[in-house]
Amino acid sequence: MVETRTHVVVIGGGYAGTIAANRLQTADNVDITLVNPRPQFVERIRLHQLVAGVDDAVVDYAEVLGQGIRLVTDRAARIDAAARIVALESGDTLDYDYLIYAVGSGVAAPTVPGAAEFAYPMVEFEHATRLRAALDDVGPATPITVVGAGSTGIETAAELAEQGHPITLVCGGVLGPYLSPAARRSAARRLARMGVTVLDGPAATVTAVTRQSVTLADGREVPSPLTVWTAGFGVPDLATASGLSTDALGRLITDETLTSVDDDRIVAAGDAAAPSDQPLRMCCASAAPLGAHAADTVRSRIAGTAPTPLNVALAGQCISLGSKAGVFQLSHTDDTATPLYLGGKAGAALKRAALTASVKLVAREARKPGSLTWLKSDKRGKRLAETERVSAP
């Protein structure tokens, strides 16, 4: 009797995709292919440290990917759902029985005049590397403006300020929109002590970027020979270009099992998933359980059993404020902030632990597939979309 094997292709080798690929090792008679444009795993939550030159933010896939998983270094160009084929940018194709869509997120294309030309995004590894090189070319006294005051903007501003750069953080709204008022005040005090100038409120919205300055809504011009753009997130347009149902941002719309509403052979995970058109917050904390749940859904479908609905509860958000301080904001089960937070050295210690644990968690799932567990809620609650939407100018 010929053994029937199932081929699962995972598109995207970030936290969600790598967890999904690793967890699929628990399924019988399954071949797993992971498609990723880079040959190394990127620790995206360390990109601010890469920019500051204190960490390289990459790990070899040999350390975090199961040995039996095939890694294809390429980028998916199109999904042919009817034929179950993934076309790659190299010209190669991959046949699949099931597909896990985990393409992640990136910076949204800025619409502010001059931003695309003169500002440095840093959501992707290549962005952070380019920004690191630009920082090497400017003097320590060169004014730097960071646009966007979500977690990425705050961490980048603090990291660069700690190295002595004069930093202006333009919020486009409030500082740390996810944070409670008390946690926000704590972060603001720490940034002030580091010499960061925080510009918040409706007037602190960027209307133009030039090579030497940033213009705000009230007409102010902020000197900025180097501008860092962290405002707004987007997702690759692969699902949209492939004719699959997506939300306004381009995330793949799924049911509560993370299965595409168009095709039960396609399952989504991570930032590019929009279960019931109510996506979870874009973050590493949600990526891991979403990746694991996507793998469990595929395993159930292979076995011919009904997949279970999604149940993920997030504990909050941890933001570093340089190497010596941080803020950990605790949340309700609907992912809204509680009045409780930990700041200062305790916040920094929690952030360091989170940075270390994120890779260990992925590596453990490679060695012991199925070991990942996560916080769950006894009620579904309301889901919030991306945290940093408020800070987009």
Q: E strands within 233-305? A: 233-234, 252-254, 266-268, 273-275
Residue 326 is encoded by which pair of tokens?
Answer: 């941080």
Task: State the pLDDT confidence band at 264, using cuts at 50, 70 and 90.
Answer: very high
For the chain, give the longest Cα–Cα distance: 76
Phi/psi for 338 (5° steps) reads -90, 175
Window from 173-177, 276-280, 341-345 with minimum mean pLDDT:
276-280
Are 264 and 8 a contacting pair, CB within 8 Å?
no
| pLDDT for the residue numbered 150 | 93
The answer on pLDDT for 231 being more than 60 is yes
In the predicted model, what is the mean pLDDT of residues 279-307?
94
The answer on pLDDT for 261 being more than 70 is yes
Task: State the pLDDT confidence band at 108, using cuts at 50, 70 and 90.
Answer: confident
Task: State the pLDDT confidence band at 391, using cuts at 50, 70 and 90.
Answer: very low
Task: State the pLDDT confidence band at 387, using cuts at 50, 70 and 90.
Answer: very low
DSSP 242: T
Window from 92-96, 212-216, 377-381 with minimum mean pLDDT:
377-381
In the predicted model, what is the mean pLDDT of residues 125-153?
93
| Alpha-carbon separation of residue 15 from 32, 45, 225, 291, 304 (angstroms) | 16, 10, 34, 8, 27
Window from 110-114, 181-185, 211-215 with minimum mean pLDDT:
110-114
10 Å Cβ neighbour count for 378?
8
Condensed to tens digits (0 to 9), the pLDDT of residues 355-382 reads 999 999 999 999 999 999 988 876 544 4
What residues does each domain of the chain span? Answer: 115-232
| pLDDT for the residue numbered 269 | 97
The answer on pLDDT for 384 being more than 70 is no
In the predicted model, what is the mean pLDDT of residues 76-105?
97
Pick from 249, 250, 285, 293: which is nearest to 269 by CA? Answer: 293
| pLDDT for the residue numbered 282 | 87
Percentage of residues of the chain with pLDDT beyond 90: 84
Give the C-alpha separation, 321 to 343, whole Å.
Answer: 9
| pLDDT for the residue numbered 383 | 46
CATH 3.50.50.60 for domain 115-232, yes or no, is yes
The answer on pLDDT for 389 being more than 50 is no
Task: State the pLDDT confidence band at 322, using cuts at 50, 70 and 90.
Answer: very high
DSSP 262: S
| pLDDT for the residue numbered 15 | 97
Torsion angle (degrees, nearest 10) of CA 234, 236, 239, 240: 70
Residue 136 is encoded by which pair of tokens?
Answer: 């090497």
In the predicted model, what is the mean pLDDT of residues 307-332?
94
In the predicted model, what is the mean pLDDT of residues 165-184?
96
Compute the half-sphere exposure of residue 336: CA atoms within 13 Å on the CB side of its CA: 4
In the predicted model, what is the mean pLDDT of residues 347-360?
93
Percentage of residues of the chain with pLDDT beyond 70: 95
Pick from 161, 143, 128: which is nearest to 229 by CA? Answer: 128
First-to-last C-alpha distance (Å) of the chain: 62
Average pLDDT of the chain, as a whole number: 92
| pLDDT for the residue numbered 232 | 81
Strands 76-80 and 85-88: antiparallel
| pLDDT for the residue numbered 392 | 30
The answer on pLDDT for 59 being more than 90 is yes
Window from 151-155, 209-213, 380-384 with minimum mean pLDDT:
380-384
Compute the half-sphere exposure of residue 281: CA atoms within 13 Å on the CB side of its CA: 25
